[in-house]
């Protein structure tokens, strides 16, 4: 395990295995789950305590400064801060490859949406003829609660 001084704060060192420690005491800082990655709290040379991602500290210590790039975990496991798992990529590549998936479709574009008026009419007609909501749901591939909402008129079609 190799240790290198952190560029932002010389009181701390980062290891290639993803650990951060205080230089004087040799105490390893315990990371906690931050919003995006494992995070540690440390004191800056002039006083305030800040929260810093462990992956950022390891990358700066071993890979150098970011220079308009972002640190990513190549195996997509944000708790794995080993040097072998970290890389710098451009922001464009980050958004293309590593960013959060798009918001799921809503409304008419949602795969569970029944926006065909004929289907709604057929469900209501089957209900009037005495079929159970469970049987109707099985026939049309929807849940019984959806059938209930359609039959009671609480479902609006978009087409």
* Contacts for 79 with CB less than 8 Å, ≥ 6 apart: 33, 37, 38
Render pLDDT for 7-56 as a digit per residue (tens, 0 to 9). 888 889 999 999 999 999 999 988 888 877 888 888 777 788 888 889 99
- Examine the pLDDT at 157 and tell me if it is beyond 70: no
Q: Is pTM beyond 0.85 here?
A: no
Say which CATH topology domain 3-98 has: Homing Intron 3 (I-Ppo) Encoded Endonuclease; Chain A (3.90.75)
Task: Give the burial class of 73: count Cβ atoms within 10 A of its Cβ; 0-12 exposed, 13-18 middle, 19 or more buried.
Answer: middle
- Give me the mean pLDDT over the 70-91 stretch: 90
- Examine the pLDDT at 101 and tell me if it is beyond 70: no
Domains of the chain, residue spans: 3-98, 107-151
User: Can you list the positions of beta strands (E) in 9-122?
Assistant: 12-15, 20-22, 32-33, 38-43, 49-53, 69-73, 86-90
Q: Please name the residue that has the structure tokens 């980050």.
A: 94
Structural tokens at position 136: 């109707």
Do the beta carbons of residue 62 and residue 14 sit within 8 Å? Answer: yes
- Examine the pLDDT at 108 and tell me if it is beyond 70: no
- Give me the mean pLDDT over the 129-140 stretch: 92
From residue 25, alpha-carbon distances to 13, 14, 21, 50, 140 in Å are 11, 14, 8, 19, 67
Average pLDDT value for the chain = 85
Instruction: Tell me what pLDDT residue 81 has.
Output: 92
């Amino acid at each position: 395990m190799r240790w290198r001084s952190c560029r932002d704060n010389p009181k701390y060192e980062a290891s290639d295995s993803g650990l951060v420690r205080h230089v004087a005491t040799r105490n390893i800082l315990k990371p906690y789950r931050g919003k995006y990655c494992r995070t540690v709290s440390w004191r800056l040379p002039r006083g305030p305590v800040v929260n810093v991602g462990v992956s950022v500290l390891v990358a700066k210590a071993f890979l150098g400064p970011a220079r308009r790039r972002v640190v990513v975990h190549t195996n997509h496991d944000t708790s794995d801060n080993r040097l072998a798992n970290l890389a710098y990529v451009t922001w464009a590549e980050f958004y293309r490859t590593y960013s959060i998936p798009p918001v799921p479709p809503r409304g008419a574009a949602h795969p569970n949406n029944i926006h065909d008026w004929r289907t709604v009419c057929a469900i209501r007609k089957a209900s009037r003829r005495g079929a159970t909501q469970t049987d109707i749901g099985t026939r049309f591939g929807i849940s019984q609660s959806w059938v209930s909402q359609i039959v009671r008129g609480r479902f609006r079609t978009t087409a």
